[in-house]
Structure 1
Amino acid sequence: MKRTVIFVCAAMLLAVSACKQRQSNQAADLERKADSLITLANNFFKPLPAEALNPENPLTPEKVALGKALYYDNRLSLNQTQSCNTCHDLKTFGVDNLPTSPGDNGMPGTRNSPTVLNAALHFLQFWDGRNKDVEEQAGGPVMNPAEMNMPSEAVVMDRLAADGRYVEMFAAAFPEEKNPVTFTNMRNAIGAFERTLLTPARFDKFLAGDRQALTEAELNGLGAFIGTGCTACHNGALLGGNMFQKYPLFGTHKEYTGSDVDDTGRMQVTKNEADRDLYKVPSMRNIAETWPYLHDGSVKELDKTIDIMARAELNKTLTPQQIIDIEAFLKTLTGKVPAEALN
């Protein structure tokens, strides 16, 4: 009996030891895989910068505070129904999760409102790149009849100048100016605030060498993302936001989405036929939270969008497992909205 017990105990110890050895081997394999992918990923991507600076618009606490107040102020729209945050809600990752956003007149726009998070790092602003930076962009929607619909810059500033608190805040933000309550300074203040809206994520830790930052499924997704060719457009610190690309290269938008929206992309700005169907490549930062997708917000599901983009841009059909893995990887790009930016 004793020998039987001893034998059973020994067998159990061997089994436990073998299990631990397998786990150790699996962990070692996973670390080697992570090491390899860290090296490979750093050929295509960069960690998110700690700052998004503009030498023409230096950041100060006073300017950022003014920009935050303006960002949340409905008085920037004609009927005082909308602020910047209405379409770019910071509590929902800088979007409103609508296909297209209604303007001050209640009518929906024609393009999906992109996230304001990390937007200061984009090479140009808007889907068609019509503004050079967030400072220039900040004034556009205020004056756009389809958006905030203000009749003139003078009306905007008269409203703000009637508020003694704003008079003090503009003076503090632009102390070198005799008459600081101007439309240009309004744009610069909002732009300064938006330059603080950076959202580092787990993927940044991975790029910096943290082998435990991603799970095995997420590592598989990163490998599939690179191997499939997604990095042709989605690269750099933002995994996008740094070039124009024609969409779709293969097939038609209606074929993939059922959407009847007729949008010529950047051609609307340049009037150049060569720019037909060119759009700024979206950043993949926080992409899992910024649905719906594409320029007209015609697709709500991330997995469906991954499938569409592979077919439309790369002429490739992904397997269901590849789509699952890539979606898992993209979720590692979700960061946190800076707490001090929330109202």
Structure 2
Amino acid sequence: MVNVNFRARGEALFRDAALNQKIFYEDAIRTFDNSYAKVLFPTQEVTKISPNSLVIIKPREVDQEINLISGEIYFKKARIQTPSAILNPQKDGLYKAVVGDDKSTSIEVFEGKVDVEDTEGRGKIVIGKGFSSKIELGKLPMEPIEITLPDAARITALKGEITLPPNFQLSVADIETVGVFNPENVDFVNEVKKRGKIRKEISAVEIALDEYCSQIIMKLKPAKVQEEIKKLADGKYYYRLEYGSDAQKYSPVKGFELNRAAREMNVIILYPPSDLKVDDEFIEVRGSASRDISKLSIDTTMVDLGDDGSFRQIVYLPMGHHEMEIFFQDKLGNTKRITKRVVRVKAAPGFWQKIFGAGNQGR
């Protein structure tokens, strides 16, 4: 993966992506003339993003969705949303989708079967192996036409592009951890100042949940670091320094840990923000818990806590205003409850519809 950019959800600027970088819900990926990318979803499904493409990734617990804004992808089972069409494979297969400059969508089926409809849901067709269709912006899908399939060797090669190799293992970036700090003291601030002396003046300190800084939770002026870092729960974090007035000039990423000797148990919900409006029936809740917390649940579902106190949990949202209940307990048995309001603004297909189709929605 060479010359590939990514943009974290909620940010305006694209940055260079790294090999084996973690990508989160609604992060964007952009490729160029000489580059492509592969995305590995939690379900072990692989999608290939061809050169000169722009996509938004939406991994979920039971299925995957990709917004193909422009360019070309090869995929196996993911639901694809484009400016002009919705592509929903009925089963695992080998599919190619292309969005042109005019926002039209072309879909080719080399193996499998896919439902194709316009974005307003006015008309749907089913395309099987050896056929293709085109959907122009604002229009219904065109009738399928037969295509000449690639030869067997090419099909095998294409399937290999979206299949994990045997004994696949994901390598992890080697990031230096600079130490354990008490956020109530100035020891972390001193660490930042020490690194600043090596280079030119520090313009900002970015603190992130991951080693690739794709999930930045704080971007602070140096004078604000001591005040703001007290708001973070104990756990593992990553930081880098932005130098001078030149954008995108960063120091290497370093890991660090916050640890208070004794403190009140605390949970910080990093996402979603309060009163966020969403149009999906599921939302991923991300946050950080202090080390003294032994149990955590969201809407009665028990949540697995990482060694550093971080957590991620998919939560179902009913229509309208919903107060998510976050309940946690420390190792001494003390309990605490907080809430976070989220608003679901329109209906989406039910859970069983997504898995078995409309005919089983009453299950």
TM-score range, shorter chain: under 0.3
Structure with greater Cα Rg: 1
Question: Which structure's residues are more often helix, by fraction?
Answer: 1
**TM-score, length basis structure 2:** 0.24
**TM-score, length basis structure 1:** 0.25
Bigger relative CO (Cα 8 Å, ≥ 6 apart): 1
Question: Which structure's residues are more often strand, by fraction?
Answer: 2
